[in-house]
């Protein structure tokens, strides 16, 4: 019998919406054919069995390419996955080209032009003796291996075009024949079924990962983590789940813009503390509760920060709950990375809603804690003023009276010194009272003053005042962003010392004359105590926060032995460039 017809315009099975029926028709059409074709049926069946094995999508695509190349005796095979908008390729899986050659070739085809682009808009079987002679061909890039014979077959998944299977360079140097076309069509039909199953499996696994990420955020909040740590967890989980280069959380600032308050990234990028100005159209959309999706941040005219221009596809999702926009979650991918799919956008939006709820709970918890602290500070300030200062003042008057009655010069001198010490103590207590009664908006701007304020505030729960020492022109050289983070680091270190160290002495040093390992000038904060040290197996969340905060600015943080006997206690060091 004559070989089956396999022209480029043949509608079956490419045009059939029912892939199972198409496979059955294609297989029945093999009956009664030539011995050459009949002898290849077992090979086809084995190929179909191989393609249907496994559920991982990319592994399935690799297997289809390899199987198709073996079935048609071709040197090279590839699958171009059509993007969601149908205008190009979102993925390109190849077989037969080694990694070294692929690196020399460079960028993979995008399907926007040439023969591959034509097959996207006209998905039908195409066989060519010499693909370079086709007017739609745009040639090959440098270092690309020569290819002449060509066979392209569309792959449909549940009636919709998924992509195209390409075969090139038949091994015997001949053209692809009718038998090859028929076999590859059947294989493409089976591949459509296998790809459909793999996509369903991958979608289920993806949803499971996003749900686990939402649980991790909620758990971090309910475990008693502070608001800053909860935001860091949101950023880290979003980066991991969306397969992005970074995870970033922004909160509205007082000027109407948005400030980056949490960053998760493998490499420090200096993004923490950066302000996106209110003039940005993106900020206006986000504050209105609208999600923003960008295909290429490097070329988008709406981008107003240089940091964002280092990325490619970006999702910007408002952290919105109960009609209130609390902030924004940003997940950027590297330049040249694939854009976010519709499924990824949907899952990320749902994750952002869950994160917003967690953020509201963290804010409510922070308000309760702040109120309790303010109430406690007011009580302590009243007690210090009404009881302690009055008693110290009365004690001083008694000592002055005793000094006047004494006729021994040594006693008069000693009592006079004690009275002077009491006067200094009273002044320090009054400074502490003033600091306790200050609100957040009244915080002074000088870094020295802010450091002293934190030390004075810590003196109340500690029961003693930590010593302090400044090196260099601290107020003149340390910028606002670094200064703000240094104060937060000092607060964290003093809080850890109060809660865990059981220390009798704490020394605080702020040195603005240090040179960092990379040669930059920076500021170093050292908080050393003579306490019990860090217990083996104890929590390190506070120390991790310090290190993460320093690294986000291009600095570092570490800890070591303290200032107690034989190195007892802990020394925490935090440094960052100006």
The per-residue pLDDT for 317 is 93
The per-residue pLDDT for 442 is 45
Using pLDDT thresholds of 50, 70 and 90, give the confidence band for residue 221: low
The per-residue pLDDT for 3 is 40
Encode pLDDT of 448-462 as tens digits. Answer: 888 988 888 888 778
pLDDT: which is higher, 19 or 201: 201
Residue in 540, 495, 548 with CA at minimum distance from that of residue 232: 548
Does 301 have pLDDT greater than 50?
yes
Residue in 568, 572, 547, 550 with CA at minimum distance from that of residue 559: 572
Return the SS3 of 265.
strand
pLDDT: which is higher, 406 or 7: 406
pLDDT cut 90: percent of the chain above it: 17
As a whole number, mean pLDDT of residues 121-133 equals 87
pLDDT: which is higher, 76 or 337: 76
Encode pLDDT of 306-339 as tens digits. Answer: 788 888 999 999 998 878 888 899 999 988 888 8
Q: For residues 198 and 204, give the distance between their C-alpha atoms in angstroms, rounded to a whole number.
A: 10
Nearest-Å Rg of the Cα atoms of the chain is 35
CA 511 to chain CA centroid, Å, is 32
Phi, psi for residue 167 in degrees, rounded to 5: -125, 135
DSSP per position, 68-117: HHHHHTEEEEEEEEEPTTSSSEEEEEEES--HHHHHHH-SPP-SSSHHHH
Using pLDDT thresholds of 50, 70 and 90, give the confidence band for residue 443: very low
Tokens of 291: 């999600």
Using pLDDT thresholds of 50, 70 and 90, give the confidence band for residue 135: confident
The per-residue pLDDT for 441 is 47
Q: Comparing 102-116, 314-328, 534-548, 557-571, which segment has the lowest mean pLDDT?
A: 534-548
As a whole number, mean pLDDT of residues 182-203 equals 82
What is the pLDDT of the chain when averaged over all its residues? 81
DSSP state of 386: I
As a whole number, mean pLDDT of residues 134-146 equals 81
Alpha-carbon dihedral sign for residues 231, 236, 239, 242: negative
The per-residue pLDDT for 140 is 80
Around Cβ 459, how many Cβ atoms within 10 Å?
A: 19
Instruction: Please classify residue 61 by burial: count the beta carbons closer than 10 Å to its beta carbon, then call 0-12 exposed, 13-18 middle and 19+ buried.
Output: buried
The per-residue pLDDT for 563 is 92
Q: For residues 262 and 239, give the distance between their C-alpha atoms in angstroms, rounded to a whole number.
A: 12
Cβ(189)–Cβ(17) below 8 Å: no
pLDDT: which is higher, 522 or 39: 522
The per-residue pLDDT for 189 is 85
Cβ(44)–Cβ(218) below 8 Å: no
Q: Can you give the pTM of this predicted structure?
A: 0.50
Using pLDDT thresholds of 50, 70 and 90, give the confidence band for residue 569: very high
- Partner residues linked to 325 by β-bridges: 320
Q: What is the dihedral of CA 128, 132, 136, 142, to 10 degrees?
A: 130
Q: 246 vs 234, 310, 554, CA distance in Å?
A: 11, 11, 16
The per-residue pLDDT for 521 is 94
Using pLDDT thresholds of 50, 70 and 90, give the confidence band for residue 509: very high
Around Cβ 537, how many Cβ atoms within 10 Å?
A: 6
The per-residue pLDDT for 7 is 39
C-alpha count within 13 angstroms, C-beta hemisphere, residue 327: 24
Using pLDDT thresholds of 50, 70 and 90, give the confidence band for residue 507: very high
The per-residue pLDDT for 28 is 54
Q: Which residues contact 536 (CB under 8 A, 6 or more apart)?
A: none
pLDDT: which is higher, 289 or 358: 289
Q: 412 vs 234, 263, 391, 423, CA distance in Å?
A: 65, 62, 21, 17
Does 538 have pLDDT greater than 70?
no
Return the SS3 of 318.
strand
Cβ(89)–Cβ(117) below 8 Å: no
Phi, psi for residue 17 in degrees, rounded to 5: -75, -20
Cβ(68)–Cβ(165) below 8 Å: yes
Phi, psi for residue 113 in degrees, rounded to 5: -155, 175
Tokens of 155: 């792959």
The per-residue pLDDT for 314 is 93
Does 169 have pLDDT greater than 60?
yes
Q: For residues 303 and 299, give the distance between their C-alpha atoms in angstroms, rounded to a whole number.
A: 8
Q: For residues 357 and 350, give the distance between their C-alpha atoms in angstroms, rounded to a whole number.
A: 11
The full 3-state SS of 481-513, as one line of letters, equals HHHHHHHHHHHHHHHHHHHHHCCCCEEEEEEEE
Does 40 have pLDDT greater than 90?
no
DSSP H/E element including 376:
helix 342-383
pLDDT: which is higher, 303 or 489: 489
Q: 122 vs 9, 10, 130, 154, 161, CA distance in Å?
A: 10, 13, 19, 9, 10
The per-residue pLDDT for 100 is 86
- DSSP H helices in 83-226: 99-105, 114-121, 178-222
The per-residue pLDDT for 141 is 79
As a whole number, mean pLDDT of residues 369-393 equals 78
Q: For residues 534 and 569, give the distance between their C-alpha atoms in angstroms, rounded to a whole number.
A: 8
Phi, psi for residue 150 in degrees, rounded to 5: -145, 140
pLDDT: which is higher, 460 or 548: 548
As a whole number, mean pLDDT of residues 276-299 equals 88
Q: Comparing 75-84, 150-159, 379-388, 451-460, which segment has the lowest mean pLDDT?
A: 379-388
Using pLDDT thresholds of 50, 70 and 90, give the confidence band for residue 523: very high
Cβ(2)–Cβ(169) below 8 Å: no
The per-residue pLDDT for 383 is 78
Q: For residues 573 and 517, give the distance between their C-alpha atoms in angstroms, rounded to a whole number.
A: 14
Using pLDDT thresholds of 50, 70 and 90, give the confidence band for residue 395: confident
């Amino acid at each position: 019998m004559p070989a089956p017809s396999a022209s480029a315009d043949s509608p079956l099975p490419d045009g059939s919406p029912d892939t199972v029926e198409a496979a059955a028709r294609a297989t029945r059409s093999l009956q009664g054919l030539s011995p050459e074709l009949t002898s290849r049926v077992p090979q086809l069946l084995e190929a179909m069995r191989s393609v249907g094995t496994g559920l991982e999508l990319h592994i399935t695509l690799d297997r289809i390419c390899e199987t198709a190349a073996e079935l048609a005796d071709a040197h090279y095979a590839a699958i171009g996955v059509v993007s969601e908008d149908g205008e190009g390729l979102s993925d390109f899986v190849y077989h037969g080209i080694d990694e070294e050659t692929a690196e020399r070739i460079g960028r993979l085809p995008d399907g926007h032009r040439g023969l591959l682009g034509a097959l996207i808009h006209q998905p039908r079987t195409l066989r060519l003796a010499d693909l370079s002679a086709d007017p739609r061909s745009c040639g090959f890039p440098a270092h690309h291996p020569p290819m002449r014979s060509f066979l392209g077959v569309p792959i449909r998944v549940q009636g919709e075009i998924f992509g195209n299977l390409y075969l090139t360079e038949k091994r015997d140097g001949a053209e692809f024949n009718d038998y090859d076309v028929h076999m590859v069509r059947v294989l493409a039909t089976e591949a459509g079924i296998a790809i459909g199953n793999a996509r369903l499996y991958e979608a289920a696994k993806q949803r499971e990962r996003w749900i686990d990420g939402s649980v991790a955020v909620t758990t971090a909040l309910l475990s008693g983590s502070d608001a800053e740590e909860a935001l860091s967890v949101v950023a880290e989980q979003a980066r991991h789940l969306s397969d992005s280069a970074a995870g970033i959380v922004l909160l509205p600032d007082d000027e109407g813009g948005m400030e980056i308050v949490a960053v998760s990234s493998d490499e420090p990028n200096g993004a923490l503390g950066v302000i996106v100005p209110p003039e940005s159209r993106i900020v206006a959309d986000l504050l209105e509760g609208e999600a923003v999706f960008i295909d290429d941040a490097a070329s988008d005219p709406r981008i107003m920060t240089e940091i964002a221009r280092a990325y490619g596809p970006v999702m910007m999702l408002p952290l919105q709950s109960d009609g209130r926009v609390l902030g924004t979650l940003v997940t950027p991918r590297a330049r040249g990375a694939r854009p976010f799919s519709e499924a990824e956008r949907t899952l990320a939006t749902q994750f952002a809603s869950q994160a917003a709820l967690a953020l509201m709970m963290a804010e409510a918890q922070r308000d309760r804690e702040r109120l309790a602290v303010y109430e406690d500070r007011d009580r302590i300030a009243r007690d210090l003023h009404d009881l302690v200062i009055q008693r110290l003042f009365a004690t001083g008057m008694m000592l002055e009276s005793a000094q006047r009655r004494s006729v021994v010069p040594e006693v008069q001198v000693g009592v006079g010194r004690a009275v002077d010490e009491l006067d200094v103590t009273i002044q320090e207590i009054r400074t502490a009272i003033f600091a306790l009664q200050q609100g957040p908006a009244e915080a002074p701007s000088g870094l020295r003053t802010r450091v002293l304020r934190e030390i004075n505030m810590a003196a109340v729960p500690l029961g003693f005042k930590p010593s302090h020492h400044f090196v260099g022109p601290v107020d003149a050289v340390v910028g606002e962003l670094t200064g703000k983070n240094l104060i937060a680091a000092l607060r964290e270190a003093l809080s850890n010392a109060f809660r865990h160290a059981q220390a009798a002495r704490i020394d605080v040093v702020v040195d603005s004359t240090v040179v960092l390992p990379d040669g930059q000038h920076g500021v170093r904060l050292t908080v050393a105590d003579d306490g019990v040290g860090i217990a083996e197996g104890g929590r390190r969340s506070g120390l991790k926060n310090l290190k993460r905060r320093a690294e986000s600015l291009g600095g570092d943080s570490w800890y070591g032995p303290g200032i107690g006997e034989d190195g007892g206690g802990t020394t925490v060091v935090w440094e960052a460039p100006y």
